[in-house]
Amino acid sequence: MSDSSPSIPRHVAIIMDGNGRWAKQRGLPRIRGHEAGAESVRSAVRTCKKLGIKYLTLYAFSTENWIRPRAEIEGLMGLLRYFLGKEEKEFHENRVRLRVMGRMRDLPEKVQSALNRMMEITAHYDEGQLILALSYSGRAELSDAVRNIARRVRQGALEPEKIDEKTISESLYLPDVPDPDLMIRTSGELRLSNFMLWQLSYSELYFAPVFWPDFREKDLIAAVEEYGCRQRRFGDVK
């Protein structure tokens, strides 16, 4: 993931949807769909590196996902730890930094430890960033941001009249990360599902009909090519 040209998005965010339905179509347990989806994660990281996309954010586990069956949640958390261990070499070879956005404190301690370790040993890499949205939702992020702003006001560090869009952006989970240029959702669903509600205000949206386990290099390239054909106006007339 290196510096990109104007036709290549700097930041791509993906809602990885369809693992369960992919498994159901094949008569498999849902966890098998998540396992197959891990290969698509690997493919996406490699393709971003190849195309010069510097930031890749993956919606891996939402705050709403905690209502899923305990067995599925435990399987997902175990898969996450396995993925981190298996991909460590590739993180180093590609000099990709791992980051997390969301309420990490909600995750099992072993998962937190694995994530913290990987974030620490990759913190100095500058070829690209893989951001996992874990125990994340856009509304939760905005709630946390408002709470932090209110705390600053109460402490006298910020005047209410000075609160603007920049104040809110700087109070989000990863304020140094640029807003996504392109948001991709797989499985054919046409909604944001509480994902990066503030940051996606001017992002280009792309909906792929394939389930996430089937989303590979050619599909990501197709989305990026579509992005390159669009004209981003940001409210202006061009």
| Catalytic residue list | 17, 65
What backbone torsions phi and psi does residue 185 show, to the nearest 5 degrees?
A: -125, 130
| Those residues with Cβ within 8 angstroms of residue 116's Cβ, 6 or more apart along the chain or in another chain | none
Q: Is the torsion defined by CA of 196, 198, 203, 208 positive or negative?
A: positive
Contact assessment for residue 23 and residue 67, using Cβ atoms and an 8 Å cutoff: no
User: CA-to-CA distance for 100 and 132, rounded, in angstroms?
Assistant: 5
Amino acid, single-letter form, for residue 64: E
3-state SS, residue 163:
coil
Contact criterion met (CB below 8 Å) for 103 and 114: no
Rounded to whole angstroms, the Cα distance separating 46 from 53 reads: 10
Three-class DSSP category at 96: strand
